[in-house]
Amino acid sequence: MDDIVKQAMAKWPNVPHCYGWLALDARGTWRMRDEAAQRAESLGDKLTNAALVGFINRNYSSDERGCWYFQNGPQRVYVNLEATPFIARTDPQQGLVVQTGQALASIEQVVMTAAGALILLSGKVVAQLDDRDMAQLLQAMTLDGQPVADEALLAWLAGGTGQLTLRWQGQQLAVERVEEDDLPQRFGFVRRPDQLAAAK
């Protein structure tokens, strides 16, 4: 967290939290949601200012409820998540990195939804793989020890048998099927903190 943010939090400790104005999409892009976007339940406009995006990335954290937020000075700006709290991308030097720039040193668990979204877990990081990088990781997957063909993967996702494995940087990781709607509760994050706030 930036020192200037810590100083602002100490100076103004009771600033009300902000909900609904910031989102993270499934490709790791921060989006500003104005009132029109909130009314339309849309993701909002992409943030492209590099300094602002860097500031958000450095000051991104979660609370005890599993709600993720950007600490903007003394104010917490809670984030609506289209997918998971982090979005991973492949990187030629670091292997996998999330939208904040942090590298995933190791992967501890891999799960896949019926729609084919790949979720990678590393420590407290829960990261869905950017769909544009899916082809690269599919090449590193096997089903019962054999390279997995598209048809075989679709059959596995639909409930078929066999052990799907991801081979990544010397690791052999079993892939588990999960239901999309079970991800937040199972891995301890909240996709819509604005709805929690509205329910109070």
Q: How far is it, in rounded angstroms, from Cα 20 to Cα 197?
A: 10
Q: Are strands 125-129 and 164-168 parallel, antiparallel or unpaired?
A: unpaired
Contact assessment for residue 112 and residue 97, using Cβ atoms and an 8 Å cutoff: no
Q: Give residue 8's pLDDT band: very low, low, confident or very high (50, 70, 90).
A: low
pLDDT by residue (tens digit) across 72-85?
A: 888 899 999 999 99
| 34 and 114 together in one domain | no
| 73 and 142 together in one domain | no
Q: How far is it, in rounded angstroms, from Cα 24 to Cα 200?
A: 23
pLDDT by residue (tens digit) across 186-198?
A: 999 999 998 877 7
Structure tokens at 49: 């200012």
| Residue 9: exposure state from Cβ atoms within 10 A (0-12, 13-18, ≥19) | middle
State the residue for tokens 């997995």. Answer: 148
Q: Give residue 4's pLDDT band: very low, low, confident or very high (50, 70, 90).
A: low
Structure tokens at 62: 């979660």
Contact assessment for residue 138 and residue 151, using Cβ atoms and an 8 Å cutoff: no
| 160 and 112 together in one domain | yes
Q: Is the pLDDT of residue 1 over 70?
A: no
Write down the pLDDT at residue 196.
79
Average pLDDT, the chain: 90
Query: Percent of the chain beyond pLDDT 90?
Result: 72
Q: Give residue 6's pLDDT band: very low, low, confident or very high (50, 70, 90).
A: low
| 192 and 158 together in one domain | no
Residue range of the domain that includes 94: 86-182
| 100 and 77 together in one domain | no
**CATH code where residue 78 lies:** 3.10.540
Contact assessment for residue 88 and residue 120, using Cβ atoms and an 8 Å cutoff: yes
The stretch 45-69 carries a mean pLDDT of 95
| 173 and 132 together in one domain | yes
pLDDT by residue (tens digit) across 138-149?
A: 999 999 999 999
| 93 and 64 together in one domain | no
What's the number of domains the chain is made of? 2
